[in-house]
Protein backbone atom coordinates (compact mmCIF):
# COMPACT_ATOMS: atom_id res chain seq x y z
CA UNK A 1 0.00 0.00 0.00
CA UNK A 2 3.01 2.29 0.15
CA UNK A 3 3.24 2.43 -3.68
CA UNK A 4 1.28 5.64 -4.08
CA UNK A 5 2.12 7.29 -0.75
CA UNK A 6 5.12 9.23 -2.13
CA UNK A 7 3.32 10.54 -5.25
CA UNK A 8 0.27 11.43 -3.10
CA UNK A 9 2.50 13.43 -0.74
CA UNK A 10 4.19 15.23 -3.62
CA UNK A 11 1.09 15.96 -5.67
CA UNK A 12 -1.48 16.66 -2.96
CA UNK A 13 -0.24 16.96 0.61
CA UNK A 14 2.89 19.10 0.22
CA UNK A 15 1.02 21.83 -1.73
CA UNK A 16 -1.85 21.71 0.77
CA UNK A 17 0.52 22.09 3.75
CA UNK A 18 2.26 24.96 1.93
CA UNK A 19 -1.06 26.72 1.40
CA UNK A 20 -2.12 26.17 5.03
CA UNK A 21 1.20 27.50 6.30
CA UNK A 22 1.15 30.67 4.22
CA UNK A 23 -2.54 31.20 5.00
CA UNK A 24 -1.86 30.99 8.73
CA UNK A 25 1.20 33.23 8.51
CA UNK A 26 -0.70 35.79 6.44
CA UNK A 27 -3.55 35.83 8.92
CA UNK A 28 -1.66 35.68 12.19
CA UNK A 29 1.76 37.17 11.56
CA UNK A 30 0.78 40.14 9.35
CA UNK A 31 -2.10 40.77 11.69
CA UNK A 32 0.28 41.33 14.56
CA UNK A 33 0.51 45.08 14.12
CA UNK A 34 -0.78 47.68 16.57
CA UNK A 35 -4.00 48.11 14.56
CA UNK A 36 -4.94 44.42 14.49
CA UNK A 37 -8.46 43.99 13.01
CA UNK A 38 -8.98 40.79 15.01
CA UNK A 39 -8.98 42.78 18.21
CA UNK A 40 -6.35 40.49 19.77
CA UNK A 41 -3.29 42.11 21.28
CA UNK A 42 0.01 42.04 19.41
CA UNK A 43 1.56 39.81 22.07
CA UNK A 44 -1.27 37.25 21.81
CA UNK A 45 -1.03 37.08 18.01
CA UNK A 46 2.76 36.73 18.11
CA UNK A 47 2.23 33.89 20.57
CA UNK A 48 0.41 31.99 17.78
CA UNK A 49 2.59 33.25 14.97
CA UNK A 50 5.98 32.15 16.24
CA UNK A 51 5.21 28.41 16.86
CA UNK A 52 3.51 28.21 13.47
CA UNK A 53 6.43 29.80 11.64
CA UNK A 54 9.02 27.63 13.35
CA UNK A 55 7.14 24.34 13.64
CA UNK A 56 9.14 21.32 12.46
CA UNK A 57 5.86 19.95 11.02
CA UNK A 58 6.59 21.94 7.86
CA UNK A 59 9.69 19.82 7.21
CA UNK A 60 8.75 16.98 4.78
CA UNK A 61 10.56 14.34 6.86
CA UNK A 62 8.99 15.32 10.20
CA UNK A 63 7.74 12.10 11.80
CA UNK A 64 4.34 13.48 12.89
CA UNK A 65 3.83 14.87 9.40
CA UNK A 66 4.74 11.55 7.76
CA UNK A 67 2.34 9.68 10.07
CA UNK A 68 -0.37 12.23 9.27
CA UNK A 69 0.36 11.75 5.56
CA UNK A 70 0.12 7.96 5.79
CA UNK A 71 -3.14 8.25 7.74
CA UNK A 72 -4.67 10.72 5.25
CA UNK A 73 -3.56 8.56 2.32
CA UNK A 74 -5.13 5.42 3.80
CA UNK A 75 -8.24 7.13 5.09
CA UNK A 76 -9.02 9.07 1.91
CA UNK A 77 -8.31 6.22 -0.52
CA UNK A 78 -10.25 3.67 1.57
CA UNK A 79 -13.21 5.94 2.29
CA UNK A 80 -13.65 7.06 -1.32
CA UNK A 81 -13.22 3.57 -2.77
CA UNK A 82 -15.52 2.08 -0.10
CA UNK A 83 -18.33 4.49 -0.96
CA UNK A 84 -17.88 4.21 -4.74
CA UNK A 85 -17.39 0.43 -4.87
CA UNK A 86 -20.17 -0.14 -2.34
CA UNK A 87 -22.61 1.95 -4.40
CA UNK A 88 -21.61 0.30 -7.71
CA UNK A 89 -21.84 -3.27 -6.39
CA UNK A 90 -25.07 -2.49 -4.54
CA UNK A 91 -26.53 -1.39 -7.87
CA UNK A 92 -25.06 -4.22 -9.97
CA UNK A 93 -24.95 -7.31 -7.76
CA UNK A 94 -27.29 -6.78 -4.84
CA UNK A 95 -30.93 -7.80 -5.09
CA UNK A 96 -32.41 -4.86 -3.20
CA UNK A 97 -36.01 -5.85 -4.04
CA UNK A 98 -35.54 -9.31 -2.51
CA UNK A 99 -33.80 -7.79 0.51
CA UNK A 100 -36.72 -5.43 1.08
CA UNK A 101 -39.00 -8.49 1.38
CA UNK A 102 -36.55 -10.26 3.69
CA UNK A 103 -37.65 -10.04 7.35
CA UNK A 104 -33.98 -10.23 8.41
CA UNK A 105 -33.11 -7.12 6.40
CA UNK A 106 -33.53 -4.28 8.87
CA UNK A 107 -34.93 -0.87 7.97
CA UNK A 108 -32.05 1.60 7.88
CA UNK A 109 -29.52 -1.24 7.69
CA UNK A 110 -27.49 0.28 4.85
CA UNK A 111 -27.16 3.57 6.73
CA UNK A 112 -25.97 1.65 9.81
CA UNK A 113 -23.48 -0.38 7.74
CA UNK A 114 -22.06 2.80 6.19
CA UNK A 115 -21.66 4.68 9.47
CA UNK A 116 -20.07 1.65 11.20
CA UNK A 117 -17.74 1.14 8.22
CA UNK A 118 -16.65 4.79 8.15
CA UNK A 119 -15.72 4.65 11.85
CA UNK A 120 -13.85 1.34 11.29
CA UNK A 121 -11.99 2.79 8.27
CA UNK A 122 -10.92 5.85 10.28
CA UNK A 123 -9.56 3.85 13.23
CA UNK A 124 -8.05 1.22 10.93
CA UNK A 125 -6.25 3.93 8.92
CA UNK A 126 -4.82 5.44 12.12
CA UNK A 127 -3.52 2.08 13.34
CA UNK A 128 -2.22 0.99 9.94
CA UNK A 129 -0.36 4.24 9.14
CA UNK A 130 2.88 3.13 10.94
CA UNK A 131 2.88 -0.15 8.97
CA UNK A 132 2.61 1.67 5.64
CA UNK A 133 5.41 4.02 6.72
CA UNK A 134 7.57 1.01 7.60
CA UNK A 135 6.93 -0.40 4.11
CA UNK A 136 7.77 2.97 2.53
CA UNK A 137 11.00 3.06 4.59
CA UNK A 138 12.05 -0.28 3.07
CA UNK A 139 11.51 -2.41 6.18
CA UNK A 140 9.29 -4.89 4.29
CA UNK A 141 10.71 -7.41 1.79
CA UNK A 142 9.24 -5.59 -1.20
CA UNK A 143 11.31 -5.43 -4.38
CA UNK A 144 10.70 -3.78 -7.80
CA UNK A 145 8.81 -5.87 -10.33
CA UNK A 146 11.25 -7.61 -12.66
CA UNK A 147 13.99 -8.12 -10.06
CA UNK A 148 12.94 -11.77 -9.57
CA UNK A 149 12.25 -14.48 -12.16
CA UNK A 150 8.72 -14.79 -13.58
CA UNK A 151 8.14 -18.14 -11.86
CA UNK A 152 8.64 -16.47 -8.48
CA UNK A 153 6.14 -13.72 -9.38
CA UNK A 154 3.57 -16.49 -9.95
CA UNK A 155 4.61 -18.48 -6.88
CA UNK A 156 4.19 -15.52 -4.54
CA UNK A 157 0.51 -15.23 -5.57
CA UNK A 158 -0.05 -18.82 -4.46
CA UNK A 159 1.88 -18.19 -1.24
CA UNK A 160 -0.04 -14.99 -0.56
CA UNK A 161 -3.42 -16.67 -1.03
CA UNK A 162 -2.39 -19.64 1.16
CA UNK A 163 -0.99 -17.35 3.89
CA UNK A 164 -3.94 -14.98 3.85
CA UNK A 165 -6.54 -17.73 3.68
CA UNK A 166 -4.98 -19.54 6.64
CA UNK A 167 -4.69 -16.39 8.76
CA UNK A 168 -8.19 -15.11 7.96
CA UNK A 169 -9.86 -18.47 8.55
CA UNK A 170 -8.28 -18.98 11.98
CA UNK A 171 -8.60 -15.34 13.03
CA UNK A 172 -12.26 -15.48 12.03
CA UNK A 173 -12.74 -18.65 14.09
CA UNK A 174 -11.00 -16.88 16.99
CA UNK A 175 -13.46 -13.99 16.73
CA UNK A 176 -16.26 -16.53 17.09
CA UNK A 177 -15.08 -17.63 20.54
CA UNK A 178 -17.67 -16.40 23.07
CA UNK A 179 -15.69 -13.52 24.59
CA UNK A 180 -14.39 -12.03 21.31
CA UNK A 181 -17.73 -12.56 19.61
CA UNK A 182 -19.53 -10.64 22.35
CA UNK A 183 -16.88 -7.90 22.50
CA UNK A 184 -16.36 -7.35 18.77
CA UNK A 185 -17.55 -9.70 16.05
CA UNK A 186 -21.24 -9.64 16.93
CA UNK A 187 -21.37 -6.08 15.54
CA UNK A 188 -20.70 -7.48 12.06
CA UNK A 189 -23.16 -10.35 12.55
CA UNK A 190 -26.10 -8.11 13.33
CA UNK A 191 -26.49 -8.02 9.53
CA UNK A 192 -28.06 -11.37 8.68
CA UNK A 193 -28.66 -10.25 5.12
CA UNK A 194 -25.44 -8.38 4.33
CA UNK A 195 -25.04 -5.79 1.58
CA UNK A 196 -21.79 -4.64 -0.13
CA UNK A 197 -21.70 -1.84 2.46
CA UNK A 198 -21.14 -4.51 5.17
CA UNK A 199 -17.61 -4.94 3.83
CA UNK A 200 -16.06 -2.77 6.58
CA UNK A 201 -18.93 -2.84 9.09
CA UNK A 202 -16.81 -4.34 11.86
CA UNK A 203 -15.57 -3.32 15.25
CA UNK A 204 -12.62 -1.00 14.34
CA UNK A 205 -9.99 -3.03 16.19
CA UNK A 206 -11.24 -6.27 14.66
CA UNK A 207 -11.18 -4.71 11.17
CA UNK A 208 -7.55 -3.75 11.70
CA UNK A 209 -6.57 -7.19 13.04
CA UNK A 210 -8.30 -8.95 10.14
CA UNK A 211 -6.41 -6.77 7.63
CA UNK A 212 -3.01 -7.46 9.24
CA UNK A 213 -2.23 -10.63 7.20
CA UNK A 214 -2.27 -8.57 3.99
CA UNK A 215 0.51 -6.37 5.35
CA UNK A 216 2.30 -9.07 7.37
CA UNK A 217 2.98 -11.19 4.28
CA UNK A 218 5.22 -8.51 2.73
CA UNK A 219 7.39 -8.47 5.88
CA UNK A 220 7.83 -12.25 5.82
CA UNK A 221 8.01 -13.29 2.16
CA UNK A 222 9.74 -11.32 -0.62
CA UNK A 223 7.06 -9.69 -2.75
CA UNK A 224 7.25 -7.44 -5.80
CA UNK A 225 5.76 -3.96 -5.52
CA UNK A 226 3.28 -4.67 -8.34
CA UNK A 227 2.18 -7.95 -6.79
CA UNK A 228 1.79 -6.34 -3.39
CA UNK A 229 -0.51 -3.69 -4.86
CA UNK A 230 -2.44 -6.30 -6.83
CA UNK A 231 -2.82 -8.52 -3.74
CA UNK A 232 -4.09 -5.59 -1.72
CA UNK A 233 -6.63 -4.55 -4.36
CA UNK A 234 -7.79 -8.15 -4.83
CA UNK A 235 -8.25 -8.65 -1.07
CA UNK A 236 -10.11 -5.37 -0.90
CA UNK A 237 -12.44 -6.16 -3.81
CA UNK A 238 -13.04 -9.69 -2.54
CA UNK A 239 -14.28 -8.34 0.80
CA UNK A 240 -17.03 -6.51 -1.10
CA UNK A 241 -17.87 -9.48 -3.32
CA UNK A 242 -18.30 -11.65 -0.23
CA UNK A 243 -21.06 -9.33 0.93
CA UNK A 244 -23.09 -8.77 -2.21
CA UNK A 245 -25.15 -11.42 -3.97
CA UNK A 246 -22.42 -12.45 -6.44
CA UNK A 247 -21.10 -15.22 -4.17
CA UNK A 248 -23.39 -16.82 -1.63
CA UNK A 249 -20.55 -18.51 0.25
CA UNK A 250 -20.23 -15.83 2.94
CA UNK A 251 -23.98 -15.06 2.91
CA UNK A 252 -24.37 -18.50 4.48
CA UNK A 253 -22.05 -17.45 7.32
CA UNK A 254 -24.25 -14.44 8.06
CA UNK A 255 -27.31 -16.72 8.30
CA UNK A 256 -25.65 -19.52 10.26
CA UNK A 257 -22.47 -18.50 12.09
CA UNK A 258 -21.20 -22.07 12.36
CA UNK A 259 -20.25 -22.35 8.70
CA UNK A 260 -18.14 -20.85 5.90
CA UNK A 261 -15.47 -18.82 7.74
CA UNK A 262 -12.99 -18.69 4.86
CA UNK A 263 -12.11 -15.88 2.48
CA UNK A 264 -10.57 -16.82 -0.90
CA UNK A 265 -10.94 -20.59 -0.93
CA UNK A 266 -13.09 -23.16 0.82
CA UNK A 267 -10.11 -25.38 1.75
CA UNK A 268 -9.86 -24.55 5.43
CA UNK A 269 -13.63 -24.83 5.84
CA UNK A 270 -13.56 -28.27 4.22
CA UNK A 271 -10.62 -29.40 6.41
CA UNK A 272 -12.09 -27.80 9.51
CA UNK A 273 -15.55 -29.35 9.04
CA UNK A 274 -17.23 -25.95 8.73
CA UNK A 275 -18.08 -26.02 5.03
CA UNK A 276 -21.59 -26.10 3.60
CA UNK A 277 -22.57 -25.70 -0.01
CA UNK A 278 -24.27 -22.32 -0.41
CA UNK A 279 -26.86 -23.45 -2.99
CA UNK A 280 -27.85 -26.42 -0.86
CA UNK A 281 -27.98 -24.36 2.33
CA UNK A 282 -30.00 -21.51 0.82
CA UNK A 283 -32.45 -23.93 -0.80
CA UNK A 284 -33.90 -24.65 2.65
CA UNK A 285 -37.55 -23.53 2.73
CA UNK A 286 -37.07 -20.58 5.10
CA UNK A 287 -34.36 -19.01 2.89
CA UNK A 288 -36.23 -19.64 -0.33
CA UNK A 289 -39.20 -17.99 1.33
CA UNK A 290 -37.11 -14.92 2.24
CA UNK A 291 -36.28 -14.48 -1.44
CA UNK A 292 -39.79 -14.92 -2.74
CA UNK A 293 -42.19 -13.74 -0.07
CA UNK A 294 -44.07 -10.60 -1.14
CA UNK A 295 -44.52 -9.62 2.51
CA UNK A 296 -42.24 -9.94 5.53
CA UNK A 297 -42.51 -13.50 6.79
CA UNK A 298 -42.44 -14.53 10.41
CA UNK A 299 -38.97 -14.95 11.88
CA UNK A 300 -37.34 -18.00 10.32
CA UNK A 301 -36.83 -21.04 12.43
CA UNK A 302 -33.36 -22.52 12.83
CA UNK A 303 -32.07 -24.19 9.67
CA UNK A 304 -31.55 -27.92 9.39
CA UNK A 305 -27.77 -27.56 9.71
CA UNK A 306 -28.03 -26.54 13.37
CA UNK A 307 -24.75 -25.88 15.15
CA UNK A 308 -21.36 -27.56 15.30
ZN1 LIG B 1 -19.42 -10.72 6.64
ZN1 LIG C 1 -18.18 -14.32 11.49
Judge whether 201 and 113 are in contact, CB under 8 Å: yes
- Domain-located, residue 226: yes
Q: How far is the CA of 29 from the centre of ligand 2 (A)?
A: 55
Q: What is the pLDDT of residues 184-195, one digit of tens each?
A: 999 999 988 899
- Domain-located, residue 65: yes
Which structural domain range is residue 97 located in? 61-246
Q: What is the pLDDT of residues 35-74, one digit of tens each?
A: 555 666 667 777 788 888 889 999 999 999 999 999 999 9
- Domain-located, residue 156: yes
- Domain-located, residue 203: yes
- Which whole-number Å values give the CA distances from 13 to 6, 19, 196, in the listed order? 10, 10, 31
Q: What is the pLDDT of residues 118-154, one digit of tens each?
A: 999 999 999 999 999 999 898 999 999 989 999 999 9
- Which whole-number Å values give the CA distances from 168 to 129, 212, 215, 261, in the listed order? 21, 9, 13, 8
Q: How far is the CA of 297 from the centre of ligand 1 (A)?
A: 23
- Domain-located, residue 108: yes
Q: How far is the CA of 72 from the centre of ligand 1 (A)?
A: 26
Q: How far is the CA of 272 from the centre of ligand 2 (A)?
A: 15
Q: How far is the CA of 148 from the centre of ligand 1 (A)?
A: 36
- Domain-located, residue 259: no
- Domain-located, residue 158: yes
- Domain-located, residue 267: no
**Is residue 223 predicted with pLDDT exceeding 60?**
yes
What is the count of structural domains for the chain? 1
Amino acid sequence: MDTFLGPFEEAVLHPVYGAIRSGLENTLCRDAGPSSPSGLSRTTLQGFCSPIQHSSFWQPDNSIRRLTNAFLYLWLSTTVSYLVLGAVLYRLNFDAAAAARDPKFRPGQVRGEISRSLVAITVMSLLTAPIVLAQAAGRARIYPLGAAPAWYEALQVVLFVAFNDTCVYWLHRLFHTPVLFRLMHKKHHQYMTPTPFSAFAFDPLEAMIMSLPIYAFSFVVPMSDAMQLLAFLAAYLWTFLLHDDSTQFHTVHHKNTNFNFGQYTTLWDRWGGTYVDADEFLSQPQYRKEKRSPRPAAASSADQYGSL
